[in-house]
Structure 1
Amino acid sequence: MEAKGRPGNENVKITVQMLKSKTGQFDLESILFLKLKNIGICNLGCIGDCVNLERLDLSGNDISNLTPLASLKLLTALNLSANRISNLDALHSCENLQNLNLSGNLISSVDALRSLSELKNLETIRLKDNICNFSNPVCMNTSYRSAMLEIFPKIKVLDGERMSGRGSDLYQLCKDMDSSPKEVCSSGAVGERLGPKKWVEDGYWELKPVRKTQSDEAVEQFYNILKECRELNNKAADVIARTDRTLSSTK
């Protein structure tokens, strides 16, 4: 289903006063991280003056026109989930964008996404979120997945699922193993069904105003990779154990 804007405040426009109040910054160019979610924004106003923004969360509003975002060249993470967006042309200029959440909007065709194909740094894109029950009309198309991979051949994560890069092979293995006990259960055996695994952790879109050095980021990336490997290993072991229990119960 498509998510609409949140009830409550309506027709809110982003102003200089709002941005200064939310961030405590006197100069808009000093704002690096910004969260303006669920406050009824329908007009992005002067958001484009925050030219050094790196992370921006505008989820749960009533936004349809993204034109003011075109000047945000340094933006790396953008959450636009649960708005009223159908046109993405303005994001073509956000050349450093790496992570983009568009779930719960009004994007009706794959062609509407082609304007993003030149974003060489884009690694993660989400148009549907089964946990929040957010989607877009385009996701109903039977060729949606293949079309997305054609437009974004280097994408690493699509709708929370690893497509390439770290962990993709192991993810697919775990996914195949997940289906094994379900098949056994469908044949009459008793077993537990495994729930969905989220690949974007809770709090991913939380904006923390801390500028890190390259060495800090390298260390954090190493530990994130190590954490992913441990989680995948634990999941694989758990699936194997569940499968063994299910198969044993059928003997």
Structure 2
Amino acid sequence: MEPRMEKGNEPENVRITSQLLKARTGEFDLESILLLKLRGLGIMDLGCLGECASLEWLDLSGNSISHLGPLSSLKALAVLNLSSNRITSLEPLSGCESLQSLNVAGNLLGSLQQVQSLAGLRHLESLRFTNPMGRLSNPFCAAVGYRVAVAEMLPGVKVIDGERVSGRGSELYQLCKDLDNSLQRFSSTSGVGSTELSGLSKPWVEEGYWDFRPARRSSIVDEAYKQFSEALQECQELGKRADDAISQAQRALNIRPDSSSYVF
């Protein structure tokens, strides 16, 4: 079920209902939904989303969400994308005890105190508050050194805004950071403008290369294989029925293939 379009081709505000979820996923039972993509649908109210108890992967980016209350009951949720919304509080996410990766770039988080509500999430390893490629950020990201503060607040987190702060690769990241600081000091003492230096520097790898990617949970893989097997079986059955129908038609019309009848 797609949202109805208002004037100016903008989707109207949408409330998540069981009908919408069933239409998007094809699942009859909300508790059977494992992966859910609801990007850019104009969603304002999460409605009954909390009833998807088995949900493990959720994309709600590009909507108008401000309150996350229903998400607090999603104990199995591992990957959550909330970028480009209107979120001011992360407190409900403290109930998502399996959360591993969280993207809240492009929201209205005004204080580091909001991050503190994630301190009890033992599996959380990847956080994103900004995305330069999409020009997304949060108000509190304007504070100098906010990443350091987040790392101290959440010592288990390995990746912040796509940059490794602990674990494998963190030493290289720190080295690059030290080099950047040295270049900045050089530019300030030598009179070389920072704009000129930034124009010369290029990213070593593509955006998101260092992002933490949680391992796929077996239930997601099993569900994907199950759906593929069912689709393949259905295609084989349809093919068999088509062959039978053609044979019956040929017998009914007493059609005998004649090679001389073909024109090339």
Letter in 1 for 2:16: I
C-alpha spacing 1:120/1:209, structure 2 compared with 1 (3 Å):
closer
- Residue 197 of structure 2 is aligned to residue 195 of structure 1: no
Task: State the shift of 1:209 in Å.
Answer: 10
Letter in 2 for 1:193: S
The aligned runs of 1:58-207 (5 Å cut-off) are: 58-174=60-176, 186=192, 192-195=200-203, 197=205, 198-200=207-209
Letter in 1 for 2:129: L
Task: State the shift of 1:142 in Å.
Answer: 2.2
Paired residue for 1:246? none
Give SS of 2:58's match. strand
Contact 1:32/1:209, CA 8 A, preserved across alignment: no
Task: State the shift of 1:201 in Å.
Answer: 7.2
Paired residue for 1:52? 54
Contact 2:94/2:121, CA 8 A, preserved across alignment: yes
The aligned runs of 1:3-14 (5 Å cut-off) are: 8-14=10-16
Distance 1:212 1:101 in 2: 23
Task: State the shift of 1:89 in Å.
Answer: 1.1
Give SS of 1:100's match. strand
Distance 2:134 2:204 in 1: 12
TM-score, normalised via structure 2 length: 0.68
Letter in 1 for 2:131: D
Decide which structure has the larger Cα Rg and report it. 2
Paired residue for 2:6? none
Distance 2:218 2:25 in 1: 10
Contact 2:89/2:109, CA 8 A, preserved across alignment: yes
Give SS of 1:125's match. strand
Unaligned runs of 5+ residues in structure 2 are: 1-8, 223-264
Paired residue for 2:28? 26
Give SS of 1:91's match. helix
Task: State the shift of 1:196 in Å.
Answer: 6.6
Percent identity, aligned pairs only, is 49
CA deviations 1:11-55 (Å, max 9, x no partner) are: 101111111111111111110000000110000011011100000
Contact 1:33/1:209, CA 8 A, preserved across alignment: no
Paired residue for 1:223? none
Unaligned runs of 5+ residues in structure 1 are: 1-6, 214-251
Distance 2:80 2:131 in 1: 15
TM-score, normalised via structure 1 length: 0.72
Task: State the shift of 1:81 in Å.
Answer: 0.3
Give SS of 1:116's match. coil
Contact 1:108/1:138, CA 8 A, preserved across alignment: yes
C-alpha spacing 1:156/1:65, structure 2 compared with 1 (3 Å):
same
C-alpha spacing 1:117/1:200, structure 2 compared with 1 (3 Å):
farther
Distance 1:71 1:200 in 2: 31
Task: State the shift of 1:199 in Å.
Answer: 3.2
Distance 1:212 1:175 in 2: 38
Distance 1:196 1:22 in 2: 39
Distance 1:200 1:104 in 2: 20
Instruction: Point out which structure has higher relative CO (alpha carbons under 8 A, 6+ apart).
Output: 1
The size of the alignment, in residue pairs, is 204
Contact 1:33/1:208, CA 8 A, preserved across alignment: no
Letter in 1 for 2:118: L
1:212 to 208, 216, 221: 221
